[in-house]
Amino acid sequence: MRLDGLEGSRVLVTAGASGICAVVAARFAEQGARVHVCDVDAGALRAFAAGHPGMGATAADVSRAADVDRLYDEALAALGGLDVVVSGAGIAGPVGNIEDIAEEDWRRCLDVNLTGAFLVARRAAPILKRQRGGAIVIISSNYGLFAQRSRSAYVASKWALIGLTKTLAMELGPFGVRANAICPGNVEGERIERVIAAEARAKGMTPQELRALWDQGASMRTFVTADDVADTILFACSVAGRHISGQALAVDGHTEFV
């Protein structure tokens, strides 16, 4: 289904070489958007670029300001401007009780998940303000709406992203720019299987037991897909979502407990 306002739009997607954001990038391209992606994994980025020859690609670690500056230089040169930014770079962070978490692991999680989103939004804001329109989408998590034992760094970063999003909506709204956070639940794929394995070990459970518990945690008793998340992001960035801003939009089958 075509969504008004996406054809010809200029879109930057971080962490776009794999997972949810690779699907998001591909779906924008299907709508006729021009897309540039970045990823810290150079191998994944090469593979993605080979499969999507019409897209630009930059190897970048969004937790580094110099990398983000270089990313924007390359994206703007390739796209000629910017209409949509999807900030999706994130890592799972350490798993364990807070007294067992190393400071460097805590800092790395917040550097990527939170500071990365800040650096990406900081460069996007003046561009979108000047043209008086556009959209920023930050991928948070249902853990940004609830919390979870043994995931303090990840939870802290994802809660903070919602606060960052709401502040962006206030600062950018007078210029016609909207900002929203997307809060996925458990998304099918390799990444969630790794998270399940790590959390199951920390809790003394089998991965099968933990997955069954998480299934019960959603009212719809199911995990979601990357396409479900992409659908919501595209809608929020389309003409149909032009007055949606400052929201934390959950795509999770309604989480009852985590």
Contact status, residue 139 vs residue 226, Cβ threshold 8 Å: no
Contacts of 149 (CB under 8 A, 6+ apart): 97, 203
Active-site residue, from 48, 72, 118, 154: 154
Structure tokens at 45: 């980025």
Residue 72 known to be catalytic: no
Provide the Cα torsion 76, 80, 81, 86; round to 10°.
-60
Would you name the residues annotated as active-site residues?
A: 154
